[in-house]
A and B are shown apart, each in its own frame.
Chain A
Amino acid sequence: MQQHKKYVGAGFIGAVVLGGLLAASPANAAEGWARDLECGTNYRCAMNSNTSAGVSYYVDGALKASWGTGGAHSWSGPIGAGVHTASMGTSGTFTSHTARCYCPSGTSCAV
């Protein structure tokens, strides 16, 4: 079985869906999603999704990763302490989406 790294779920400030930022177009299936995160020092940001078509992830408006096809995808990377907006946009529809701060295993993190 896979070795899963310790996940520290602290750091949320709640799911804030920013409808005005990434509203799904009524004319097609494309969808957007965003949430605000509050991360402590040395935390990383992790984003996951499962979509029917290609998807892009961005943090504070800067792209972090994108894919041309749907399915399960993930990205994680460093993120500075403070409040950040994690966003996703897909050409299709989301089956699932998450964005979280986490403290990597073996790292000393401060909230």
Chain B
Amino acid sequence: MALPLAGCTGPGGSPSSSASAVPDDWNLTPADIDNQYEEFLTDLVVKYGLDEPVEADPIRFVSAEEWAVAQVNCLNEKGFPANVGAQGGVTYGDIPAEQGPAQRRAAASCEAEYPIDPRYSMQLPRSRALAQYGFLVNTLAPCVEAQGYAVSTPPSESTWMDDYYATGQAWDPFDEAASQIAVGSDDLDDLYQACPPLSDDVYPPAAR
């Protein structure tokens, strides 16, 4: 299938790989991208609660910023109401209950046609993990604090890196703020608008 994702090289693998095996920068080969896409198709079956595999022809990878618009346009073309949501996702219009399975199949097909850049679901290479730590400490934490949320003292860079590569989970001021928001509140929408949680230093735009 060989969907191109120029500018990205080296599989990051899944979190909790050993630190010595971590590449320094993104380094995805075409074979890595094909393998990721095949796994992604399998995962879509679970994500959309389907009972059979997704069949679609991939058109192009999209960035996190483009993802919702691409899905909404695709869904609308397939006849399903959808809009771009405030958290960078898709919100769906009301449909008759019996159309639920067809709607979920359409959404899965659209995501297969316009899959998100696979780097977003991969472990960060070392240089990007360091960039992520810097982004969290210097940009995201001050931003969420300015929005009125409490943020704990950041760990040292080495501790954060150890936590990240050991478990895939590490100190994240956005998650800390999100955990302070009451269920049913719109405050998370506002937080996404005020403090976007993804950085181009970590996920540089791929040449398209």
Contact = CB atoms under 8 A, between A and B. Distances in A.
B184 A52 contact: no
Contacts of B188: 72-74
A109 interface: no
Given A53-B120, A56-B47, A92-B121, A68 B68 contact: yes
A106 to B, nearest CB: 13
Contact of B92 (A44, A62, A72): A62
A90 B42 CA distance: 11
A40 interface: no
Contacts of A74: 87, 178, 181, 183, 185, 188
Contacts of B121: 52-54, 69-70, 91-92
Given A28-B43, A62-B92, A48 B183 contact: yes
A61 B174 contact: no
B39 interface: yes
Given A2-B149, A58-B100, A65-B90, A89 B49 contact: yes
A5 B174 contact: no
Nearest to A47: B183
How many interface residues does chain B have, given as a range?
35 or more
Contacts, number: 172
A21 B100 CA distance: 14
B107 A66 contact: yes
B79 interface: no
Interface in B48-74: 48-49, 62, 64, 67-68, 71
B100 A60 contact: yes
Contacts of A37: none
B49 A58 contact: yes
A5 B186 CA distance: 9
A110 interface: no
B160 interface: no
B204 to A, nearest CB: 16
A9 B179 CA distance: 17
Interface centre among A7, A56, A60 (most CB of B within 10 A): A56
Given A2-B149, A5-B184, A91 B91 contact: no
18 contacts: A2-B181, A22-B49, A28-B43, A44-B184, A46-B183, A52-B168, A56-B49, A61-B101, A62-B94, A62-B95, A65-B85, A67-B88, A69-B88, A69-B116, A72-B174, A91-B44, A98-B183, A104-B184
Closest 5 CB pairs of A and B: A72-B178, A61-B100, A30-B46, A67-B89, A68-B67
